[in-house]
Each structure stands twice: as structure tokens, then as C-alpha cells.
Amino acid sequence: MDAPYSRFSFKALYDPRQFLTPVAQTHYDWAFLVTAVVVGALALGRLRVARGGLALVAALLICLGLREVVGLMASDEYGDLITEIGYGKALLTFRFTGIALGCAIWAAVARTRDRTDGTPLPAHPPAPPHPPYADAPPPPSYAPYGDLYSARPGANVRRPAFVASGIALLLSGAIEVSWLIYSLTRDHVYFIGSRPGSDAGDFFRAAVDASRGFPLPQAFYALALVAAPLLVGALLLAGRPAARGAALALALASTYFDIRTLVPAFDDGFDLYWDSTLGTLTILTPFVTLPLQALVVIALLGAREDGAGAYGVSPGRGTRTATGEAAGRTTPRGARRVRAGRRRTPRPTR
């Protein structure tokens, strides 16, 4: 058996002191692989929460594939090396397939609109007919739902669960930004594939160029886990429903990463970390980010779904299909009296 395959150990999935082989890639890949399986199962169940998770997984697949394309275009030596090693062709096939699959997922998610039965809504609903006396003001009791083009109840509303989760993700992202700044301001910036004297520029290039971060995309994931919480947190504060699934997927994956970093402390003891300021901050960081991720999961799982049915339909009333009720209106009482009065008016005799 080939040596890279024989040295594989599943212990590296939960112990950072162990290293995965290049064949197995990184623990980030395994975490998001499990995330993709779970989100795919939710999508098969036609649950709306899967939309954001699908968008997150698709973005990772596309970015990883484009990073591989940049590496092949930037270095001919990298192309020769990746095709010579045993798993190189399989890795390239996976990356290029990920680009096509990610684009297909993005296209499907972009065309999907929220609805209770899971079927997509038309992009432009037909205009309702112009009934007589339509200019008359409707009674206040059904004013919010009387227009087909009015926003759904609960749409684009900053709900407390979204606000709390968005703030938690932004705080988590700020902590990751602080650690990234600290790492990039050191004399030697270390990442998998780095060379002696590497600096911040080499790190950012390795994040987008596979030939500089070979054999593992550690720099890419380090940068992605900084940008993703900030972006998803901002979308949550903006009240975007699709951000709910992305935040849940990201929070669960980040929880796994934080627990993994605590394994050496539980094995060797926490006393080794209190000797220096850097060690203290290192061990305290997971204890701060874990409650933040738990807050995101609990708040979003308990968040109420958006308004039911099609746009403009009152919750609990169902979708109206009659011509006169397409906009959810009824004829005002005053209009009925006027109409009845006109019917009783005798025609003038000649």
C-alpha cells in the first residue's frame, strides 16, 4: 500500500497534534463534507433552512476550484507535480467537479423563492384585475394584506433571533480577525506550504493560489473562516432569510473546530497555557467563541419561519384564486350601497 494512504489516522480529525495526510486533505474539508451531506438531506426534505447552507457549501466548492485553476495557470511546475503524485488527478477532478456543482447549486438557490409547500413562486405575478371602486380606501382590518404586491408578513423584518445571531457571528468574526492580524504581523508567517521568510503577502497569495499553498489549502480556510462569519452576520442583521441556513451550517462547523482545539488542553492539562499571555488568550478563545456559536444555533433553531403562503396572503387564510379576490380584497360596504342605489334608480322616460 502507498505510504500516504497507510499513514492515515482518524485521530487527526479530533486531535490537532496529529496531521492528516495530503490524501485526506484537512479537517476543514471533512467538516464541510459532513455539512454538505446534512444540508443535502435537508434540501431533499424541501426545508427552506437548507437554502443558506447550500449557498455556503456552493461558495466553498467554487472558491476551492478557482484556487486550483489559479495555481495551474500561475505555475507549470505545479501542474507537473500535481499530475505525478498518486492522488493528484483525483484531486483535480474533485476541484473541477466542485466548480460545476457549485454553479448549479447557486443557480438553483437563486431561482428558488420561499413558500410553505416548497414550490417556487413566479418571478413576476400577474397583475390583479382592476375592480370597480378599487380606488376606494379599504377598511383597516385587511389593509396589510389587501395588496398582492405588498410585502409578506415577517419579510425583511429584523427579528430578535436574527439580530442576536448576527451580533454573535460578528463578534466571532472579530475574534478571528484579531488572531489573523497577530499571525500576519509576526516575523515569519507560517502556513502549510510556506517557505522561510514568508510574509503576509505570501499568505494571501497561498489563499488564492494552490501552487503556493501546496499540498493543503490551510491558508484558504484560515481566510474563509474570517470572512464567512462577518458576511453571514451582516446578512442576518439585514434580515435576509437565506442567511439562517448559512449561519447554522457555519456555527456547527465552527463548534467542531473550537472543540478540536481544546483536545490537547484536556489531555495535557490547562496549566501549560497560563504561563504566557499568548497561551492564556489561546485557551480562552474557544471558551468565548463556543457560547457565541451555541447562541447562534439556539436562536436560529427557535426562530419562527417567515410568513406562510404566497406574497400578500394573510397567514391562515390560504391562497385565493378567484378573480375578484386575487388581491385579498372584498367590496367595501359603501360601494355595495352605491351600486344598490344605482340599480334602484329608475331610468328617465323619453
Residues 154-172 pLDDT 10s: 444 458 889 999 999 999 9
For residues 345-350, average pLDDT: 50
For residues 216-239, average pLDDT: 92
Residue 131 lies in a domain: no
Between 343 and 15, whose confidence is greater? 15
Q: Does the pLDDT value for residue 231 go beyond 90?
A: yes
Number of domains in the chain: 1
SS3 for 310? Answer: coil
Answer yes or no: pTM beyond 0.85. no
Residue 53 lies in a domain: yes
Residue 2 lies in a domain: no
Q: Is-contact 40 104, C-beta < 8 A?
A: no
Q: What is the pLDDT of residue 192?
A: 74
Residue 76 lies in a domain: yes
> What does the alpha-carbon distance between residue 257 and residue 132 come to, in Å, rounded to a whole number?
63
pLDDT tens digit string along 271-321?
A: 888 888 888 999 999 999 999 999 999 999 887 654 433 333 334 444 444
Q: What is the pLDDT of residue 153?
A: 47
Residue 211 lies in a domain: yes
Q: Does the pLDDT value for residue 199 go beyond 80?
A: yes
Q: Is-contact 16 264, C-beta < 8 A?
A: yes
27 is in which domain, residue-wise?
12-114+158-261+272-301
Q: What is the pLDDT of residue 133?
A: 53
For residues 185-193, average pLDDT: 81
Q: Does the pLDDT value for residue 136 go beyond 90?
A: no
Q: Is-contact 169 229, C-beta < 8 A?
A: yes
Q: Terminal CA-to-CA distance of the chain, rounded, Å?
A: 109
Longest CA–CA separation in the chain, Å: 110
> What does the alpha-carbon distance between residue 57 and residue 60 come to, in Å, rounded to a whole number?
5
Residue 66 lies in a domain: yes
Residue 121 lies in a domain: no
| Percent of the chain surpassing pLDDT 70 | 70
| The three-state (H, E, C) secondary structure of 235-299, written as one string | HHHCCCCCHHHHHHHHHHHHHHHHHHHHHHHHHHCHHHHCCCHHHHHHHHHHHHHHHHHHHHHHH
Residue 7 lies in a domain: no
Q: How far is CA 306 from CA 7, 129, 218, in A?
A: 49, 27, 37
Q: Is-contact 67 208, C-beta < 8 A?
A: yes
pLDDT band, residue 131 (cuts 50/70/90): low
